[in-house]
Structure 1
Amino acid sequence: MRISYKNLKRYKEIVHILIKYGFSFIVEKLNIEDIAYKIPITNPSEEIKNMSTATKIRCVIEELGPTYIKFGQLLSTRKDLFDQDIIDELSKLRDSVEPFDTDIAKAIFKNETGLDIDDIFKEFNDTPIGSASIGQVYEGKLKNNEDVIVKIQRPNIEETIKSDIEILRSIASALKDLYKDIDIDLKQIIEEFNTQLIRELDYNFEAMNAIKFKKMFEDSKEVYIPSIYSEYSTQKVLIMEKIIGIKLSDISKIRGLGWSTKNIAEIGVRSLFKQVFEYGFFHGDPHPGNIFVVSSNCISYIDFGMIGIIDSKTLSFLNHMAIAISKKNIDRVIRSLIDMNMLNSDIDTSSFRQDLLYLMHYYYDVPIEKLSISNILNEMFRFLRRYKVYIPPQLSMLAKTVITLEGTARSLDPDFSISSVAQEFIQYYYIEKLSIDKTLLRAKDSTEEVLFDIRAIPRQLKSILRNLENNNLKIKMEDVKFTSLERCIIDLATKISLSLVLAAMVVGSSLIISSQNVNQNIWIKMMAIIGFFISFIIGILLIIKIFRSQYRK
């Protein structure tokens, strides 16, 4: 594994934590034990030995710090990649770290906005109400007496994250080289994570998300979205309206006010389907801490750093899948998966069909009030993971959101049933699908697309014919890694060349030394001796190269 020595200190911290929790074999596999030679490799404590592997992984991530906690939270959405016990542990990761000094926060605020705290705020609470890996949260009151929440980004957090991402890329590359048959595209996951973090590092993205949600629910009496003060918000500072309400997690207080928790759960379900089916844009982390109950008939979302986007093609796919499953049409299910490029070409179709049929029959006859969305989705992900079915990240996030929503709804209403979700699904999907305005818009889009394709066909045919005429056909191969193959070929060619030179030198020197005239000319004899000496050196070099190659393997 290639090590960037500017991150050497961080590598040592990672090695130390891995060894502490009994993952020293990973250090050995990654070939980074040489940077940990001063760290004693000791046996883990009894407490750590008694932990499950999933718990150890969570503890390692927590000790590694903010970037890795964020990474763990992202992985907790990938039920298509990991077993449920690991997902459960990763879901426990909390984005909470030690607070930084408020004077530093004020300096960052002034540097970003060009204004002092006293220029904007009538009151500002110096004690942060929350401290996360990316930023810190304060309460304040503007000069116009409006209560607000202020998020200020941590100092130097961008440099720290970039360093950790570089290390993660190196680890992913090393693991891919070590485990050739690994089916998880670690590099893709890390790049996805990097993209998400870049957005979270820029509070302008969160501000835009909140503004879009505000517009989405501007006519709704059931969902309220806090306003953003864009004139004071920058890349590292975000000011939004403070929500006066009760956190959804404080169920006893909600019930103490006489508010119907069942009604609040139904509002949550309706709001999610409005986000998904009307806008294809949904809150990606709707856990109880990110939702406030404003009144008996109104909830409010906060924290818009993580959002999900789902397109019409994916929604159509979900609808076709639901219809196919309801009719137990296995062939249609498989065709839908193929259309979305989710099935591997080398899949055992016979076993896949058989197991899918069993899974569908298992849940099909269960009374709807007995069904659990979480159980169904978790079982489905286990099945898809077994057959290495690729799940688009947007579907993974949507599944996690639905599971989180169901868990929250059941805590509010013990009698919550999948039937209510199904009814909302049917209502929203088919109202949108059969809407005259939406139907006309889809027809217009389809017509424009067809006309565009028709206009493009002659130009494409002309281009193909020109390339055929000029014998200018090219085959482009992507996503194929030839680095290791190239290295092996070069190594093999070097060994063969050395072997041929060695053989030629030995044969040539032997012919010279066996000549009858060798004793008549001292230079001929010296040439033979020099030839044997060079053969000896080449032989030693060849042996060293062979042993070195084996050692590397």
Structure 2
Amino acid sequence: MPDVLHGRARYRRILRFAARHLIAIWWFELIIPRVGFRRVTERTRAARMHRFASRFRVLAVDLGGLMIKLGQFMSTRLDVLPPEITKELEDLQDEVPAVPFAQIQALAEAELGVPLAQVYASFDPTPVAAASLGQAHRATLASSLATDVGFAQVVVKVQRPGIADIVAVDLSALRRVGAWLSRLRVVSHRVDMPGLIEEFAATSLEEIDYLHEAQNAEAFAASFAEDPRVRVPAIVWERTTRRVLTLEDVTAIKITDVDAIRAAGIEPRTVAKVFAEVMLDQLFVHGFFHADPHPGNIFVTPRAGGDGDAPAWTLTFVDFGMMGDVPDRLRASLRKLIIAAAARDGRGMVVAMHDAGVLLPSADTKELERVLTQVFARFGGMGFAELRELDPREFRDFALEFSDVMLTLPFQLPENFLLIIRALSLTSGLSTSLDPRYNVWDSVEPYATQLLRSEAGNVLGDLGGQLRENAQVAWHLPKRLDGVLTTIEDGKLSINAPKLEDTFGRLEHTARRLVSALIFAAMLIAGARLHADDPGTGIALMVASVVPLLHVIFGRRHDR
């Protein structure tokens, strides 16, 4: 239980867990394949993933706090994470231990300033949901207030006692883990990890302020005021403080309860489609989005009949503690990105990534354009179910062919981009859980067409700008050509071929690393076999094998 764990012990436990598994990943996924044991890595990967997920589940349930948020995110990544992880964590939202009602009652009465019996006609001591940062109880408003607000049945969210201190400890531990990751060259050259942690910290601190959540709920409701597909619970401001939130009870069918959805006469694949469209609207139209759309925060609410093209049900969103804003400039860039993706336009994708700030201005993106063009040519239009049916060796060969391009490009994540990625990841995973054959392109392509129509008024302006740019190039072209010809005449034209210059040097180092790799393999295997009969000698050989291994690793880095 997080309430009884000492802060320092909690901090150390998180760091130990992270360190142990980072080392395991580094060893099995980076080192072992490089020295010829790729089959060992592939053969043991499923068991290792399941073991990691089981251990993390125990850790998250035991600690609560932000660890639950991380587990919820992992459980919905059905599109990219292996089933060994997602299956193990899929029920994590419902496993958080409840706080004893006496503690909840004491905190709520201290916040409201009066006994619960005076402001609620009834208050169920059994929580309807126990979340990582608080828990919810059903209640009935006093008759006078119920008449004023227009409803009597409510849900009262009360923070877990001491959650602010727990969040502070978790953020401190995450900052340390982020510092570890930032020391890895492959991470530090692509992502400002400390910056991402601070952005997540700011969001987490806002999430434990219920007044902020109530304001978010009303802003979200205003965005969809004219949209019959979406419903938002009303806030009872008279019974709301920073640590207590009272809102309309809108509990209905959980969005992942496929059997109940079908029993209500609703097609799950339609729910997946509408849900994706609503999330796209939040990101690309309204610029204000729900950043935590996991299954516990979304209901499908049947209703009598439909209005025109609206379905006979609504998507009901709850829990607005984690929200994101998309500035106008970034929203325009994201629109270009989704239009380029729908058009399978690799160059357009790179331009949009530049505009969004995902790539540094100095990035050489010719190779990235080539990679994206080939990705669209081979995999474009496929749904996640179709991708899963492809031969894994095809993905592996493709990744090996273009790994150097992706690792050397200077990627970065602009402000609030982490929440955008989170929302899109949860959306794709949840849609896939509703419809295993769900194809994200079915939502993206018509949406991109809609965006093109809405931006048609900007076409003339864009053409005018392009004409001015072309005119400037044409005006300066004679002068540039004259400069090139002068350089050639003076004999100063140089040709740089770094790959050719490096080839001979690499051949020399390759032979040395090959010998070291063979020595490492021989010592490791011999040590493993001797360990059963002679533990001392076996361990000594395995430890000594690290010496030639280091030469293989750092020799490879030197070659590059």
TM-score range, shorter chain: 0.5 to 0.7
Checking the alignment, whether the CA contact within 8 Å between 2:156 and 2:247 is kept in structure 1 is yes
How far the C-alpha of 1:126 sits from its partner, in A, is 0.7
| Secondary structure of the structure 2 residue equivalent to 1:51 | helix
Checking the alignment, whether the CA contact within 8 Å between 1:72 and 1:93 is kept in structure 2 is no
Shift of the 166–18 alpha-carbon distance from structure 1 to 2, 3 Å rule, reads closer
Query: In structure 1, what is the equivalent of residue 119 of structure 2?
Result: 120
Paired with 1:369 and 1:76, the residues of 2 have a C-alpha distance of 17
How far the C-alpha of 1:148 sits from its partner, in A, is 0.6
Q: Deviations over 1:191-232 (max 9, x none)?
A: 122111110110112111111122222333322211011111
Shift of the 317–371 alpha-carbon distance from structure 1 to 2, 3 Å rule, reads farther
Alignment match of 1:65 (pick from 49, 63, 66): 63
Query: In structure 2, what is the equivalent of residue 271 of structure 1?
Result: 278
Shift of the 423–294 alpha-carbon distance from structure 1 to 2, 3 Å rule, reads same
Q: Deviations over 1:511-550 (max 9, x none)?
A: xxxxxxxxxxxxxxxxxxxxxxxxxxxxxxxxxxxxxxxx
Checking the alignment, whether the CA contact within 8 Å between 1:97 and 1:132 is kept in structure 2 is yes
Paired with 1:368 and 1:85, the residues of 2 have a C-alpha distance of 16
Shift of the 406–170 alpha-carbon distance from structure 1 to 2, 3 Å rule, reads closer
Paired with 2:338 and 2:447, the residues of 1 have a C-alpha distance of 11
Shift of the 8–274 alpha-carbon distance from structure 1 to 2, 3 Å rule, reads closer
Alignment match of 1:398 (pick from 420, 424, 429): 420
Structure 1: where are the runs of 5+ without partners? 1-5, 27-46, 444-553
Alignment partner of 1:249 is 2:256: yes
Paired with 1:252 and 1:93, the residues of 2 have a C-alpha distance of 17
Alignment match of 2:159 (pick from 145, 153, 158): 153
Shift of the 136–171 alpha-carbon distance from structure 1 to 2, 3 Å rule, reads same
The percentage of aligned residue pairs carrying the same residue is: 23
Aligned residue runs from structure 1 range 489-528, under 5 A: none
Alignment partner of 1:203 is 2:225: no
**Which of structures 1 and 2 has the larger relative contact order (alpha carbons within 8 angstroms, sep 6+)?**
2
Shift of the 260–306 alpha-carbon distance from structure 1 to 2, 3 Å rule, reads same
Paired with 2:185 and 2:436, the residues of 1 have a C-alpha distance of 47
Query: In structure 2, what is the equivalent of residue 422 of structure 1?
Result: 444
Checking the alignment, whether the CA contact within 8 Å between 2:192 and 2:413 is kept in structure 1 is no
Alignment match of 2:328 (pick from 281, 295, 312): 312
Query: In structure 2, what is the equivalent of residue 108 of structure 1?
Result: 107
Shift of the 331–434 alpha-carbon distance from structure 1 to 2, 3 Å rule, reads closer
Checking the alignment, whether the CA contact within 8 Å between 1:78 and 1:393 is kept in structure 2 is no
Alignment partner of 1:232 is 2:239: yes
Amino acid in structure 1 at the alignment position of 2:64: P
Shift of the 200–321 alpha-carbon distance from structure 1 to 2, 3 Å rule, reads closer
Q: Report how many residues are paired.
A: 405
Amino acid in structure 2 at the alignment position of 1:243: V
Q: Deviations over 1:282-317 (max 9, x none)?
A: 222323332222213322111112223223322322
Checking the alignment, whether the CA contact within 8 Å between 1:246 and 1:254 is kept in structure 2 is yes
Checking the alignment, whether the CA contact within 8 Å between 1:278 and 1:432 is kept in structure 2 is no
Checking the alignment, whether the CA contact within 8 Å between 1:152 and 1:236 is kept in structure 2 is yes
Instruction: Tell me the TM-score normalised to structure 1 length.
Output: 0.61
Shift of the 124–389 alpha-carbon distance from structure 1 to 2, 3 Å rule, reads same
Structure 2: where are the runs of 5+ without partners? 1-5, 26-43, 147-151, 303-311, 462-560
Query: In structure 1, what is the equivalent of residue 539 of structure 2?
Result: none
Checking the alignment, whether the CA contact within 8 Å between 1:142 and 1:148 is kept in structure 2 is yes
Paired with 2:9 and 2:383, the residues of 1 have a C-alpha distance of 55
Alignment match of 2:227 (pick from 220, 227, 231): 220
Paired with 2:45 and 2:378, the residues of 1 have a C-alpha distance of 39
Paired with 2:177 and 2:424, the residues of 1 have a C-alpha distance of 32
Paired with 1:327 and 1:265, the residues of 2 have a C-alpha distance of 22
| Secondary structure of the structure 1 residue equivalent to 2:274 | helix
How far the C-alpha of 1:157 sits from its partner, in A, is 1.4
| Secondary structure of the structure 2 residue equivalent to 1:123 | strand
| Secondary structure of the structure 1 residue equivalent to 2:48 | coil
Max Rg structure: 1
Instruction: Tell me the TM-score normalised to structure 2 length.
Output: 0.60
Paired with 2:424 and 2:12, the residues of 1 have a C-alpha distance of 40
Query: In structure 2, what is the equivalent of residue 514 of structure 1?
Result: none
Query: Comparing 214-223 with 200-209, which one deviates more in the overlay?
Result: 214-223
Shift of the 218–362 alpha-carbon distance from structure 1 to 2, 3 Å rule, reads same
Paired with 1:264 and 1:404, the residues of 2 have a C-alpha distance of 15
Checking the alignment, whether the CA contact within 8 Å between 1:273 and 1:428 is kept in structure 2 is no
Shift of the 148–269 alpha-carbon distance from structure 1 to 2, 3 Å rule, reads same
Paired with 2:428 and 2:248, the residues of 1 have a C-alpha distance of 28
Alignment match of 2:48 (pick from 39, 51, 72): 51
Query: In structure 2, what is the equivalent of residue 168 of structure 1?
Result: 174
Query: In structure 1, what is the equivalent of residue 510 of structure 2?
Result: none
Paired with 1:392 and 1:78, the residues of 2 have a C-alpha distance of 24
